[in-house]
Amino acid sequence: MTFRLDVIWRELPQFVHGLGNTVWLCAVSMALSLGLGVLFVVPLMSRRPYVRQAARAVVDAGRCVPFLLLTYLVYYALPSLGLSLDKWTAALITLVAYNTAYMAEILRAAWAHLPPGQTEAARAFGYTGTALFRRIILPQVLIAVGPVVGNQLIQLIKDSAFLSIITVPELTYAANSVQSFYFVPFESFLVATLLYWALCGGVEYLVRRGERLAAVVRRGHGH
């Protein structure tokens, strides 16, 4: 077989466009779900059992649906309830809903594993409630979760390929269009794979930087 580099070269803009869409969809949904995860982690760590259990049920419901199925639900099933979404909105909602459940759980685990001393010291110094969370707990949690959030971002980038099913022109969709138009599946999917590798490699690099910061903070716990 001949490697059709010429086709790839000609269709490069389509790949770049697809990659761009993958990047912004994942970046925006990651930021949104991290923010929502922060809101969700508070009831997850509530002292009141019924609040905690209700939050846990919602989070588990989100984590235990296959991403593809969630995409179908949002894009194909919601219209029968009278709620039609365009593919971009559906894509974002699916990514954010799915990922928020994971973010909340990641943040909860990090919070639960914080050494209790720093929080206790904050209480002794007059902190309570929101100020305690915002000034003392959350910063430590966010630094600690850096590497795990990075891994979750890689997961999200890979899951986003399912969005090609609802014709969102992201990277996998672009690769699929090129291969079906020119009958070059090997070339096209190989290029897409390389681009996913590069993207995840970049995230991986940031994760390692974050891991160093997290290590500094762990060491600062003084144990």
Partner 1 sequence: MATDPVPAVELCGLGKRFGDHEVLADIDLAVMPGETVCIVGPSGSGKSTLLRCINWLERPDRGSVFLHGTRVGYRPSDVGDVLMSDGELAMLRTRIGMVFQHFNLWPHMTALGNIIESPVHVLGRPRGEAIAEAERLLEKVGLVDKRDVYPAFLSGGQMQRVAIGRALAMRPEVLLFDEATSALDPELVGEVLAVMKDLARDGLTMIVVTHEMKFAREVASRIVFLDKGRIVEMATAEAFFEEPATDRARQFLERYR
Q: Which residues make up the interface to partner 1 (CB under 8 A)?
A: 117-118, 120-129, 131, 135-136, 139-140, 143, 216-223
Of 10 and 134, which has the nearer Cβ to partner 1?
134
Please report how close the Cβ of residue 35 comes to partner 1 at its closest, in angstroms: 19
Distance CA 62, CA 83 (A): 20
Distance CA 116, CA 125 (A): 14
Distance CA 167, CA 36 (A): 27
Of 82 and 222, which has the nearer Cβ to partner 1?
222
Please report how close the Cβ of residue 131 comes to partner 1 at its closest, in angstroms: 6
Please report how close the Cβ of residue 221 comes to partner 1 at its closest, in angstroms: 6
Of 127 and 189, which has the nearer Cβ to partner 1?
127
SS3 for the chain is: CCCCHHHHHHCHHHHHHHHHHHHHHHHHHHHHHHHHHHHHHHHHCCCCHHHHHHHHHHHHHHHCCCHHHHHHHHHHHHHHHCCCCCHHHHHHHHHHHHHHHHHHHHHHHHHHCCCHHHHHHHHHCCCCHHHHHHHHHHHHHHHHHHHHHHHHHHHHHHHHHHHHHHCCCCHHHHHHHHHHHHCCHHHHHHHHHHHHHHHHHHHHHHHHHHHHHHHHHHHCCCC
Of 48 and 219, which has the nearer Cβ to partner 1?
219
Please report how close the Cβ of residue 153 comes to partner 1 at its closest, in angstroms: 22
- Please say whether the beta carbons of 105 and 64 come within 8 A: no
Please report how close the Cβ of residue 51 comes to partner 1 at its closest, in angstroms: 16
Of 138 and 154, which has the nearer Cβ to partner 1?
138
Q: Residue 50, Cβ neighbours under 10 Å: how many?
A: 8
Please report how close the Cβ of residue 116 comes to partner 1 at its closest, in angstroms: 9
Of 9 and 125, which has the nearer Cβ to partner 1?
125
Of 12 and 121, which has the nearer Cβ to partner 1?
121
Please report how close the Cβ of residue 138 comes to partner 1 at its closest, in angstroms: 10
